[in-house]
Amino acid sequence: MWKYIRGHIASMDAQSCVIMPDGLGLGVEVFATARLLSSRSVGDSVELSLYHHRSETLEALYGFETAAEESVFRRLLKVPGVGGRTALSVLGLGVDTLLSATERSDEKLLANIPGVGKKTAVKILLELHNSFSLEELERARSRQPSLEIAPEIISTLVGMGYDRDRVREIAKTLPADCTDIESRMRYFLRELAG
């Protein structure tokens, strides 16, 4: 069973990277969030916890920088109709944003993610709301996200399949009253859908 990997990135694309564990001469393909992949380059050292996911049609490794990401990913996989890649797209919002959206029952934010419709968004919200304690939700709500998040959102949206140039155009029109990550992400998704 795969649980952890440390090495350097040998190659990468929009959904995964190949990690060469130090001293083994072996390449391991690991799927990861767009946020993680956009922050790394070929040759970078990386340490990730791994989740080995098996289904009837697929066997894949998913990599995470934090235990919270892996925990949320595992909970997302319990939602009917949500596979590994969709779970990574949802997780691309970030754990704090996702938990905050769960507390607010913000199905519109989730429904705008490619591969997630309104029905699946509702199922995700129910699963996450039933999985986390009130204390965890309150901690997520009280965190203050960074106001310098437009580049992070851009890389996340590009990783979700949106056109980089279109996303950058929208970033230039970001209203001044969009000061937190949730309102900025909602604005981007609304503009991209329009």
Q: Which domain covers residue 55, as residue numbers? A: 1-65
Residue with tokens 């990861």: 32
Is 96:145 a contact under the CB 8 Å cutoff? Answer: yes
d(CA 87, CA 76): 6
Mean per-residue pLDDT pooled into runs of 10, the chain (194 residues) = 86 91 86 86 90 86 87 88 88 82 85 87 85 57 44 72 80 74 81 82
Extract the tokens encoding 112.
């705008």
pTM: 0.66
Q: How many domains does the chain have?
A: 3
Q: How is the chain split among helix, strand and coil, in percent rounded to 5?
A: 50, 20, 35
Question: So what's the pLDDT on residue 140?
Answer: 46
CATH number at residue 32: 2.40.50.140
Contact 37, 14 (CB under 8 A): yes
Where among 65, 92, 113 does a domain terminate? 65
Answer yes or no: do 1 and 56 share one domain. yes
Residues 127 and 156 in one domain: no
110 and 167 share one domain: no
**Per-residue confidence (pLDDT) for residue 187, from 0 to 100:** 84
Q: Specify the pLDDT at position 42.
A: 92
pLDDT of residue 105: 86
Of 12, 45, 65, which one is at a domain's C-terminal end?
65
